[in-house]
A and B are shown apart, each in its own frame.
Chain A
Amino acid sequence: MTNKKTLINISKLNKIYHTDGTATNALKDIDITITQGDYVTIQGPSGGGKSTLLSIIGLLDKPTSGDYQISGVSVTKLSESQMAKVRNREIGFIFQDFNLIGDMTVSQNVELPLIYRGIAKATRQAKVIEVLKRVNMSERAKHLPNQLSGGQQQRVAVARALVGNPTLLLADEPTGNLDSVNGDSVMQLLSELNEQGVTICMVTHDSRYAHLSKRTINLFDGQVVDNTDNEQKNGTSNNKVDDREVAELMPNAITSSASSLVKNTSTVGA
């Protein structure tokens, strides 16, 4: 992995929400590195900061402080239109509830990022056909989203995320609204994409799928409490914190469950 090029580099990143004079630290001093071809799962309990972190990585939100670089370029000071451009060219999103536009057909949904990029029509159409074939949805190109099953909709969402050849694919609970069969199918698809070289960063609650990734990052109360390399055959985390450290980070009342979560996480895929 050391030979691979760094794609995402996050250091000392904080996100604080202010509500009615009360400050909430959603992310605290986050340091994360994601290399090209990586497949990272972000896990943790609700409110742990997973989605906030994914939103910041996807440039849907801005950090309060810290640095965030994509391919060595800091993106924290980008304007809204620059961020939109980076989202369009470098990032593909897959959402839990698919977020397909209901009034558009499958092919129109998939075509949208290319329209925003200003790609010529002929090229757009060729790309759409190609990517729909890739996710086995080419026969449904003229269908509206409500004419598709959940799994099919998520495949379309994956196609839309992939059509612009993004550097990074972000998936937020991609199986959250799917049954196990469709969930497995989508996860299989993501694994295949990663094998083809696509860098993936996924938030999931489902520990069954975390083992499919190469690395698992655990967040708790806005802090990284575990960063495990799933490829290591010995089942130990290269960045594992012991129970004593966990106990320092977590409130007493939930220490035991958090510890077990860390243990569970570290053993996935072993």
Chain B
Amino acid sequence: MSNTSNSIETNNEVMSKNNFIENVVIDTRYALARFIAQPITTLIIVLTLALSIGATTAIFSVVNGLLFQATPFKDSERLVILAQQDLTTDQSYGFSAPEMLDYQSQAQSFENMAEIHNMTFTMYGHNDPIRVRTGVVSSNFFNMLNLTPILGRVFTEAEDDIGAEPLVILTYEFWQREFNGQDDVINQNVEFNNRSHKIIGVLPHFPQFPAVSDVYIAIPSCPWRGSEGAQSNRSMRMMTSFAKIKPDFTLEDVNSEVANIAKGLANTYPEAYSANADISAGALSLHDELVKDSRPYLYTLLATTLLLFLIASANVTNLTLSQHSKRKREFAVRASLGASKARLAQLLLTESLLLSLLGGGLGLVFAFLGLDFLKDFAANFSTLASEITIDSTVMLFALVISTVSGIIAGIVPSFTKVNLVSSLKEGGKSSYSTDHGLLRNGLLICQFALSLTLLIAAGLTIKSLNNLQNIDAGFSASNIEILQVDLNWTVYNNAQQRWQISQQILQEVRKLPYVSSSALSMTYPNDTVGANYGSIRQAIQLDDRDFNPDEVLPNTFNRPITEGYFATLDSQLLQGRDFSADDDDKAPNVAIINEKLAKKWWPNESAINHSISFDQGENWLTIVGVVENIHEQGAAVEPSFQIYRAMAQSPTGHLAILANHEGAQPQGTQPQGTQRHEKGNSTFKQDIKKIIAELDNRQPLSKFESLQQAVDNSVSLQRFLAQLLTIFSAIALVITISGVSGVMSYMVNLRTREIGIRMAIGADKAKVITLILSYGIKLTVIGLLIGVVSAYFSGDWLSTQLFDIDAFDMVIYSTALITLLVISTLACLLPAWRASSIPPMRALKSN
């Protein structure tokens, strides 16, 4: 054939290296023209991809920010958090000051070791007195994290010494909030409780741990840490310790070393530990510590969005297949003009990649828009949430999944064998069964299976949330407003002073006209700040048996309350009585225990009139009442052992003022709904502010919330998960329904002539509708059957992660199945109706 070669093909005319690029440009131009010519189809594909890629990318940004990215500190992989443990009771402890020194001197694997504990101070000298969350740290804390202040300086080693000048460093957020980011803040003096502190620096933003603080002070600035007792008492284990490992050591080395040190200290100082304690110590990487609670939730969400992505990809592939079928003639013409299979595949890939990149780009915008929402969600489990961002890794992820989706959608039709002769003759008309029918049906079945899985997962999550919200928590949250006051403990430094102001506050609150009942307590159900206040870690002596020092009950709490606490919460006293005004500091000590503890100690008799002692018989408390179990730490957490003490006999500096205004609305409030709560809280807040100011105008208030808000916050994570899963399953449902509708419409188009023939030989409208419907329903049912199996496996996993659900729930499965079946039937009905409405003559001529 060489002698017949074309004269136009000469070396200087034929493109070589630029050929591929120019082909891509040509294909891109053509693809864009096609997209513009078919705006609806293009929009559907791009939106489908954008929703799935956006959701997947947004969730990935959280997973990436929390799990994959290193903690944003220098050498963060070498930073570890240390903890001591009593293996006998499985209780974890922090470190006392003497223990810190022992570890520092004995551990060979540490390059450095720092301490932190958190306190609350009242800050004066700048605007109104405010409550300030304070981190008390050793001077090397900031150097270990490689934090360079944006203003001023950090503490020096000399400033760790007892007696050094009281200094304070502000966090970036506190500086902005309280000092409006003013540069002249350095060297200003502010008063913390009763001591003046000089501001020496402002830190940059960083993810804080173990708790978020407003300011940081040095060791000697803390009255407790700087006290003689804290310096010498080995049992005062209030500090969190973290260390930087030397480069040559591993985490295993550290774990082994600190465990040995712990055992050595327990042998050397047995008096500092309870008898029979099996003391050990361990280290956890700082990153793992910061994200340990997030993994199950994040993996659930990532799996969910990947399901959504698969559903969207299947749908887009199906749409592309339909488009491809309509373009058979075009591809045949191109082939007849000399386009090879590879060249046609290149065209299809260019088009699908362009669409998926458009979808990916829009998805990235969606991800950006949803980022703050997700950061709030992630803040539930890690302070690293503030570090979450759409960075280059996330963008690369979006690009990769967009490309994958584009390749899937483009490559599948590329593998189709095209009959050039018939395609050129028939213009792409063919029968459904021969036209990717199997593949198309398979994709649709997959979509149904995955959608059902997602829908059931969402249903199970909602049920779990519902179970949480409907659990009998032992109290009623309605109409209860709460205001917390942390008394300045250097002013109110004895029990008498604390009780005096507590009593005055309560008396004034009870005078408020809208308050039907009120009480004071150290903490309240679902109080995130005071959840661990009053934790009892020693054995309690009972009046009717010998003292056993090893019998330390886990999760036992001592809560000072005033009379009226249970009435305000609407909790039922099961036996005995409530505290009364007579239970003052001069009266015999009394206690009310919860049902769980009563059953534990006296399973076969009443606990009333039995006595207990926290100090091995020195002082006794008579049990005067047994109250029902109250879920103090959230509905998902089993009620702990509770001992309630009369506040007059055990005054506290942490005051929660509870006021129930049921039946007596605050002035100017609405009778029902959230608005009432907000206004009620607002009125209550103002009134309490006035009361406190009249009693002590230097005492700030700490926190306002309604008990209902506290309850809602306790399930916010589960609610958030349920909301996201519901949104994702709704998107999946819409995508799947558009998929089934599209496939059925396409099938009707291909079978129009057949339908005409059937009608010509006597099929009526109903028979045609039945024909189309039965086909769609058959595919739906197959997909749903597969979906039930996959839903069971996902439900099985969810049941290990969520509260009180089983892998199989008849109501949820039935509802999801019926929903999909009904919606699918409706989606098939339109094309079926259209098919039955085509005049037979037109149908017969349709080919």
Residues B337 and A116 in contact, CB atoms below 8 Å apart: yes
Q: List 18 A-B contacts (CB under 8 A).
A: A60-B336, A60-B421, A61-B421, A71-B3, A73-B1, A89-B338, A93-B337, A95-B424, A99-B333, A99-B336, A113-B337, A115-B26, A116-B338, A119-B15, A123-B13, A127-B8, A164-B8, A164-B338
Residues A90 and B1 in contact, CB atoms below 8 Å apart: yes
B459-508 with Cβ < 8 A to chain A: none
**Any B CB within 8 A of the CB of A20:** no
Chain B contacts for A70, CB-based, 8 A: 1, 4
Chain B contacts for A84, CB-based, 8 A: 335, 338-341, 343
Convert B1-23 into 0s and 1s, putting 1 for each residue whose CB lies closer than 8 angstroms to a CB of A: 10111111100011110010011
**Any A CB within 8 A of the CB of B573:** no
**Contact check: which of A113, A115, A119 meets B13 at CB < 8 Å?**
A119
**Any B CB within 8 A of the CB of A153:** no
| Main SS at interface, chain B | helix
**Any A CB within 8 A of the CB of B545:** no
Contact residues on A (Cβ < 8 Å of other chain), bracket: 35 or more
CA distance A100 to B336 in the complex (A): 12
CA distance A118 to B23 in the complex (A): 9
Chain B contacts for A100, CB-based, 8 A: 333
A102-140 with Cβ < 8 A to chain B: 102-104, 108, 112-113, 115-121, 123, 127
A79-105 with Cβ < 8 A to chain B: 80-81, 84-90, 93, 95, 97, 99-104
Residues B333 and A101 in contact, CB atoms below 8 Å apart: yes
**Any A CB within 8 A of the CB of B411:** no
Residues B8 and A88 in contact, CB atoms below 8 Å apart: no
| Most chain A CB inside 10 Å of its own CB: which residue of B37, B329, B340, B427 | B340
CA distance A119 to B18 in the complex (A): 11
**Any B CB within 8 A of the CB of A51:** yes
- Give, as a whole number of angstroms, the nearest-CB distance from A104 to chain B: 7
**Any B CB within 8 A of the CB of A55:** yes
| Most chain B CB inside 10 Å of its own CB: which residue of A52, A89, A118 | A118
Convert B335-371 into 0s and 1s, putting 1 for each residue whose CB lies closer than 8 angstroms to a CB of A: 1111111110000000000000000000000000000
CA distance A71 to B4 in the complex (A): 7
Given A51-B421, A60-B421, A88–B337 Cβ distance below 8 Å? yes
Residues A103 and B1 in contact, CB atoms below 8 Å apart: no
Residues A120 and B340 in contact, CB atoms below 8 Å apart: no
Residue tally, chain B, CB below 8 Å to A: 39
**Contact check: which of A85, A95, A108 meets B340 at CB < 8 Å?**
A85
Residues B337 and A89 in contact, CB atoms below 8 Å apart: no
Given A89-B9, A101-B330, A165-B8, A61–B420 Cβ distance below 8 Å? yes
Convert A140-173 into 0s and 1s, putting 1 for each residue whose CB lies closer than 8 angstroms to a CB of B: 0000000000000000000010001111000000
Chain A contacts for B842, CB-based, 8 A: none
**Any B CB within 8 A of the CB of A222:** no
The 10 closest A-B pairs by CB, nearest first: A88-B338, A116-B338, A60-B420, A84-B340, A113-B337, A71-B4, A81-B340, A99-B333, A55-B421, A73-B1
Residues A97 and B337 in contact, CB atoms below 8 Å apart: no
**Contact check: which of A73, A87, A103, A160 meets B30 at CB < 8 Å?**
A103
Residues A87 and B338 in contact, CB atoms below 8 Å apart: yes
**Any B CB within 8 A of the CB of A58:** yes
Given A58-B336, A89-B338, A51–B1 Cβ distance below 8 Å? no
Residues B8 and A119 in contact, CB atoms below 8 Å apart: yes
Chain A contacts for B4, CB-based, 8 A: 7, 70-71, 90, 167
CA distance A101 to B420 in the complex (A): 15
Residues A80 and B341 in contact, CB atoms below 8 Å apart: yes
- Give, as a whole number of angstroms, the nearest-CB distance from A267 to chain B: 31
CA distance A73 to B23 in the complex (A): 30
Residues B339 and A81 in contact, CB atoms below 8 Å apart: no
**Contact check: which of B15, B22, B337, B342 meets A160 at CB < 8 Å?**
B337
